[in-house]
Amino acid sequence: TICYNQNILMLSKDLILKIKELKLPKGEYIVSGSGILDVLTIRKANDIDLLVSPELFEYLKDTCEWKEHNSYKTTISHPEGKAEAKKCLDFMKEQYTLSDIISSAFIYEDIPFINLKILLEAKKQLNREKDQEDIKNIENYLRGSFII
């Protein structure tokens, strides 16, 4: 687990409450995407993105009525729009298993968030226009030169 400066952590209570309301089993998921950016006050998260085990993915889809979100059937959405879940980071599966990602998680308020360095790698690989500002801000944060 990577430790970040505790003084800079400013809990986004709304985000944490929404994640806890999902009541997901420990060890079966991790908050990916902008969740960690929100908790570290890099930027506000617009949604909750999750990486989940294949078993949890099927359970959510079959039992909890999460709906398939894309034609590839790799993403499901919470029925109330609270979150989206993916089975894995397809484009990074050669580098990291879900177990690797979960074991390197940043834990805050008993919630596992994706390691900031792994998120940075993912954003660089995707290299979408919307990721450019995040890449710059994550790199500045990791260098200690991020200004809130």
User: For the segment 116-141, what is each residue's pLDDT rounded down to a tens digit?
Assistant: 999 999 999 888 998 999 999 999 99
Amino acid at the residue 57:
F
Q: How far is CA 74 from the centre of its chain?
A: 15
Calpha distance 81→67 (Å, rounded): 10
Report residues of the chain scoring pLDDT below 70: 1-11, 71-72, 89-94, 146-148
Amino acid at the residue 31:
V
Element at 133 (helix H, strand E): helix 132-143
Quote the pLDDT of residue 11: 44
Helices 132-143, 116-126: axis angle to 10 degrees equals 150
Quote the pLDDT of residue 26: 94
